[in-house]
Amino acid sequence: MSFFKKLLVYMLISLTFFISIIGLASGTIFNMNVQPNSQENHEFNLALEDRVLIQIRSIGITTGNFSASLIFPDGSKINFGEKNNIDYTFICEVEGKYSLELINSDMENERLVTLNIEIQSYIFGLPKMVVLTLLILGICLVGVAFFVFLGKTY
């Protein structure tokens, strides 16, 4: 009986570990200061069919002179214009390295920028967390069936 208790404890520890890893990979938040008359770049890799949410918040001075743009791996560029709050969502159609360009064209004031990038990875058209949950559930069911089969006496 102690074997089954150990197995249950190991399975719970493994499940907790997998859930914590999945939770940590879902989003990233950065705070950065963009110096006067300069540009900051942030690069991130995406796979096909990733769902991406980008939020940019410029804190402090509410006048213009701050712009942002997203550069795709194929070289195309989306310019968001001079805005203090930017929300942009898209589905990744080109796998590769994306670059987010933050430009402060103000000559005197630096900008505090909060950058939130949330990436949801998809496997076989399903969210990654659902696929991993189904995989863990399948492994547990196979294990239970195996122990039931071993316990039968003929």
31/100 Cα distance (integer angstroms): 14
- Helix segments in 47-154, DSSP class H: 128-151
Q: What is the DSSP letter of 61?
A: -
β-bridge mates for residue 78, sequence order = 70
Ordered structural domains, the chain, with CATH: 22-146 (2.60.120.680)
Residue-wise pLDDT for 79-108, tens only, equals 998 888 899 999 988 899 999 998 888 777
Show Cβ contacts of residue 127 under 8 Å, excluding neighbours closer than 6 positions: 120, 121
Question: pTM for this structure?
Answer: 0.66
Mean pLDDT of 60-64: 67
Residue among 136, 123, 144, 70 at smallest CA distance from 101: 70
User: What is the per-residue pLDDT for 99?
Assistant: 93
34, 74 Cβ separation under 8 angstroms = no
Residue type, 130: V
